[in-house]
Amino acid sequence: MHTRVGFLKPLVTEPNIEIGDFTYYDDPDGPDKFAEKCVLHHYPFIGDRLIIGKFCAIAEGARFIMNGANHAMSGFSTYPFNIFGHGWEEGFDPETWSREIRGDTVVGNDVWIGMDAVIMPGVKIGHGAIV
């Protein structure tokens, strides 16, 4: 086996990322930075999960964009005033924002995710799909 390819299950330790057996990632820099390089805007306080099934092949440059990338669209602005403090967070209702979360991102078994593919928040990919 090449050093650029590795099974993800023993490498990924983030609690909201679940990886099935024998799913691998291919990256010239090695597979151990998968969560850091490929799972973007995944903040623990949001609670969304990335679930990837068994026997999946994930190519270099694949990106999973998680719900933390979304901006609330139900207020007077899409600007995230509340995250900057300075009193801007007053009146922020997390329940309103949580209604805009698209849910967990789920990849079925035996899925091939090709080079530079981008998977958006809350997407469900069926078994055997090619992206």
Spot the catalytic one: 2, 42, 71, 86: 71
The CA-to-CA distance between both ends of the chain, in Å, stands at 24
Place of tokens 């299950």: 9
> CA–CA separation, 118 vs 120, rounded Å?
6
**Radius of gyration of the chain measured on its C-alpha atoms:** 16
Sheet holding 5-7, edge to edge: 5-7, 24-26, 57-58, 112-113
Three-class SS string for 43-93?
A: CCCCCCCEEECCCCEECCCCEEECHHHCCCCCCCCCCCHHHHCCCCCCCCC
Q: Any catalytic annotation for residue 71?
A: yes
| Residues tagged active-site | 71
